[in-house]
Amino acid sequence: MIDRRALLATAASLTALPLWAQTDDWPQKPLTLVVPFTPGGSTDILARVLSQKLGDALGKSVVVENRPGAGGSIGAELVARAAPDGYTMLMGHIGTLAVNKTLYVNLAYDPLTSFMPVSQIAAVHNLLVVHPSIPARNLKELIAYAKANPGTLTYGTGGNGSAAHIATVALADAAGIDLVHVPYKGTAPAVTDLLAGRISMAFTGAPVLLPHIQAGKLRPLAISGAKRLATLPDIPTVAEAADLPGFEASQWYGIVVPAGTPATIVARLNAEIRKGMSAPENVERLAKEGADIIVNAPDAFGNYIAAEIQRWGALIKRANIKPD
């Protein structure tokens, strides 16, 4: 495992004096926050919350740029190849920074060496929802239905290898059921088809699903986290609902910048991100959307990424998951 502390210390020691001179007046122009998915999903929602706070703190606008494709790899590669000057950031998440390392044989970037971690941002719990036409009122009934009708329940995700895909495979693996994957080019179109009854279910980030649950258009069965959502206190966790102790498959998000970005800029971004995301109004707003704010130091985030690569890589290999 790469020691992120050593990387950060090396970057700082190599350039300590020149960087202070170069970054005292940083930033001098707008920043770009690349979201490697289509608008409307959890990654995009979090990016727009962060961009406003970060822009206010830095005194420069932070422009959110959606660059979807290949499970987030296109946007991630764009940032990996960007100038390491602090002006281009990636809203990374479990897919781009952990899953893709194993999923794509010829990945054009390496989550551990192509980026400098800045801070984790949040964890978004996946909600398991079904179209009202599905005859299951709870997760145990859904599992029983799936076992009685193998290969008939379909679920939509933002693509092969997406966070929602991996989470649903983890659920199917744990429950011993056969589900049919229907990949889309983003979370939003998957939810659109689910609302229309073209697919049976979804197990994806809570923010995009909550409005439809509250409107009675989708039936929630379980939450992927270790605890229930404050906004849906009657919806049990998967572990509770299906007697699957220890099950947890939530999505996480964080900011990274190109490798070689000055340590002083990384430190400034980390400080402003932690302050902005921890603001009471953000904590309250995102909690209502099913997200928990999680901010940490660059080295802690880097070590977490490395651990997640190992965790999800094992499932990808066991389930023989392939990209589009």
- 291 CB-near residues (< 8 Å, 6+ apart): 42, 46, 122, 123, 124, 125, 206, 207
65 beta partners? 34
* Structure confidence at residue 324 (pLDDT): 65
For residue 58, CA distances in Å to 54, 55, 202, 216, 272 come to 6, 5, 38, 41, 8
Q: Say if residue 13's pLDDT is above 50.
A: no
Question: Taking 90 as the threshold, does the pLDDT of residue 207 lie above it?
Answer: no
Straight-line distance from the first to the last Cα atom of the chain, in angstroms, rounded to the nearest whole number = 28
Give the per-residue pLDDT at 229: 86
CATH top-level class of 126-241:
alpha beta
CA distance 94 to 92: 7
pLDDT grade for 92, boundaries at 50, 70 and 90: very high
Assigned fold of 4-124+251-319: D-Maltodextrin-Binding Protein; domain 2 (3.40.190)
Q: How confident is the model at residue 6, as a pLDDT? A: 46
The boundaries of every CATH 3.40.190.150 domain in the chain are 4-124+251-319
Summarised one tens digit per residue, pLDDT across range 19-77 is 433 557 899 999 999 999 888 777 888 999 999 999 999 999 999 999 998 888 999 99
Structure tokens at 170: 């983890």
Residue range(s) occupied by CATH 3.40.190.10 in the chain: 126-241
What pTM, to 2 d.p., does this model score? Answer: 0.80
Q: 56 by DSSP, 3-state: which?
A: helix
Residue-averaged pLDDT of the chain: 90
φ/ψ of residue 180, rounded to 5: -100, 120
Q: Model confidence at 157, in pLDDT bands (50, 70, 90)?
A: very high
Grade residue 303 by pLDDT with cuts at 50, 70 and 90. very high
